[in-house]
């Protein structure tokens, strides 16, 4: 198609598209709903508008209605008018909207008219002087796969990293870890005393929240209770967890799950407002300008961000691995030759990620593998170090963990380096307190 023909088609569509929608009753697909599909997001874009600095936005995440429907928060009349006029100009359907306090902008999800060139229309939106930013709605996937061999050794990562000996010095007490993932079984006996906040940015389904596999597994690796006579031991069993649901399972009972730009933006913004020490993102997807800006803001605030490496992206990582100062973690022992070279060496760590025995919904346990679990191990290690030295930077944490020897990460050795003690304690922890 020639440039002239393309411009004519866009101009024609901007006039006719609103009428088409009225005649055929086209409804926008619900972003973030458990019923929505990946393809439903193909026609959705995120548009931000500058919010007047004199008007204070409500706290991020405080919208009174669920993500699946339009919110009813207060925002400036000027922004409301601009957003409505933009929709009318381009024949857009408004799906949802929300203020991003951390960036001082108002974010609107629009659905583009069908059968129109979305890329060209997105370029027009980006050039419109009323628009602060415009981008595609991206899709992200959590990085784990199910594994249920009952004869595998349990918690080999805990042993190989000398976690029990490290617990004589630190258990993550006083450290807050935000986990942006699927929901979490907050009633699991290993986790119920570790969840400081549980927040759902996807839907209003508490049963689905507590039945989600991936988030429950990730939080178990980080924070499962120690010395309680049951189950497993978390890397940092005394941390406080913010369980922030921005992803939803593709199938009931599966570790596979997806998120999108809008749900992740909500969760990251909320996390920034709660000022955690560590932010765990066991997921990956394409580059995303809005999410990258938000994550950079979190890092500027001193939050240590841990992400999972996606070997399928090769040496060109997307979000969140490509964001500067993010610690990206590959899974050791997965049998994938790409695992050790999937991210830039300056940011990369390799942690246990194969056949990890961890918590699963409804008070159960199971094996999972993948870089999601590797990232969770490193988030726990960071929490141990931060208990003993608040304010450690990501670079310092990387240096401490990398310098622990040639046989993989060693929590005890990292703490000895931090505390200048010389050697690890000789005995494993045996008393309560986790």
The CATH number given to whatever domain includes residue 380 is: 3.40.50.200
The answer to whether residues 308 and 397 belong to one domain is yes
In the block, which residue shows the tokens 């005649």? 23
Same domain, 115 and 171: no
Among 98, 116, 137, the domain boundary falls at 137
Residues designated catalytic: 181, 214, 372
Same domain, 341 and 243: yes
Domain stops at, among 137, 154, 183: 137
Query: Is residue 97 domain-shared with residue 176, that is, in the same domain?
Result: no
Question: pLDDT tens digit string along 360-373?
Answer: 999 999 989 999 99
Tell me, yes or no, whether 148 and 48 share the same domain: no
Whether residue 215 is contained in a domain is answered as yes
Could you tell me if 320 and 406 lie in one domain? yes
For the stretch 276-314, pLDDT in tens is: 999 999 999 999 999 999 999 999 999 999 999 987 765
Domain membership of residue 424 (yes or no) is no
Please report whether residue 19 resides in a domain: no
Residue 429 lies in a domain: no
Q: Would the CA dihedral through 226, 231, 234, 237 be positive or negative? A: negative
Whether residue 305 lies inside any domain: the answer is yes
Residue 22 lies in a domain: no
Q: Please report whether residue 16 resides in a domain.
A: no
Q: How many domains does the chain have?
A: 2
Residues 265 and 349 in one domain: yes
Do residues 146 and 264 share a domain? yes
- Are 302 and 381 in a shared domain? yes
Which of 302, 301, 304, 295 is closest to 383 using CA atoms?
304
Per-residue pLDDT of the chain (434 residues; tens, 9 = 90+): 454 444 444 444 444 333 333 322 333 333 433 333 333 467 899 999 998 654 444 444 333 333 344 444 467 889 999 999 999 999 999 999 999 989 999 999 999 988 778 888 999 999 999 999 999 999 888 877 543 323 334 777 888 888 888 888 999 999 999 999 999 999 999 999 999 999 999 998 999 999 999 999 999 999 998 888 888 889 999 999 999 999 999 888 788 899 999 999 999 999 999 999 999 999 999 999 999 999 999 999 999 999 999 877 655 679 999 999 999 999 986 544 444 444 444 458 999 998 899 999 999 999 899 999 999 999 999 999 999 999 999 999 999 998 765 568 999 999 999 998 767 765 444 444 44
Boundary of a domain, candidates 97, 116, 137: 137
Domain that holds residue 182: 141-419
> What are 200's two structure tokens?
């759902």
């Amino acid at each position: 198609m020639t440039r002239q023909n393309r411009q004519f088609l866009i101009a024609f569509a901007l006039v006719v598209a609103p009428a088409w929608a009225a005649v055929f009753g086209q409804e926008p697909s619900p972003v973030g709903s458990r019923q929505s599909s990946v393809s439903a997001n193909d026609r959705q874009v995120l548009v931000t508008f500058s919010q007047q600095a004199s008007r204070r936005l409500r706290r991020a995440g405080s919208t009174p209605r669920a993500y699946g429907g339009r919110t009813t928060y207060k925002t400036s009349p000027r922004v409301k008018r601009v957003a409505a006029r933009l929709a009318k100009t381009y024949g857009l359907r408004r799906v949802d909207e929300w203020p991003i306090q951390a960036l001082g902008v108002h974010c609107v999800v629009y659905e583009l008219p069908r059968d129109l060139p979305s890329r060209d229309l997105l370029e027009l939106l980006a050039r419109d002087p009323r628009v602060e930013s415009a981008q595609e709605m991206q899709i992200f996937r959590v990085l784990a796969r199910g594994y249920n061999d009952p004869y595998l050794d349990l918690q080999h990562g805990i042993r190989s990293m000398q976690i029990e000996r490290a617990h004589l010095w630190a258990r993550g007490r006083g450290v807050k870890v935000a986990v942006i993932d699927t929901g979490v079984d907050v009633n699991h006996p290993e986790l119920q005393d570790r969840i400081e906040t549980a927040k759902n940015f996807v839907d209003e389904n508490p049963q689905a929240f507590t039945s989600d596999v991936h988030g429950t597994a990730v939080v178990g690796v980080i924070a499962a209770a120690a010395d309680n006579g049951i189950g497993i031991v978390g890397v940092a069993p005394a941390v406080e967890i913010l369980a922030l649901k921005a992803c939803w399972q593709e199938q009931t009972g599966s570790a596979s799950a997806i998120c999108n730009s809008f749900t992740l933006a909500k969760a990251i913004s909320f996390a920034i407002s709660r000022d955690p020490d560590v932010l765990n993102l066991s997921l990956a997807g394409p580059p995303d300008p809005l999410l990258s800006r938000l994550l950079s803001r979190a890092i500027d605030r001193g939050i240590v961000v841990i992400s999972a490496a996606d070997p399928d992206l090769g040496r060109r990582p997307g979000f969140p691995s490509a964001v500067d100062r993010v610690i990206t973690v590959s899974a050791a022992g997965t049998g994938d030759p790409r695992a050790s070279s999937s991210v830039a060496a300056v940011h990369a760590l390799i942690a246990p990620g194969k056949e990890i025995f961890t918590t699963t919904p409804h008070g159960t346990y199971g094996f999972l593998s993948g870089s999601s679990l590797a990232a969770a191990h490193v988030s726990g290690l960071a929490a141990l170090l931060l208990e003993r030295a608040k304010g450690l930077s990501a670079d310092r944490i990387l240096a401490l963990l990398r310098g622990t020897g040639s046989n993989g990460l060693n929590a005890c050795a990292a703490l000895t380096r931090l505390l200048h003690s010389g050697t690890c304690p000789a005995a494993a922890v045996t008393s309560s307190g986790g």
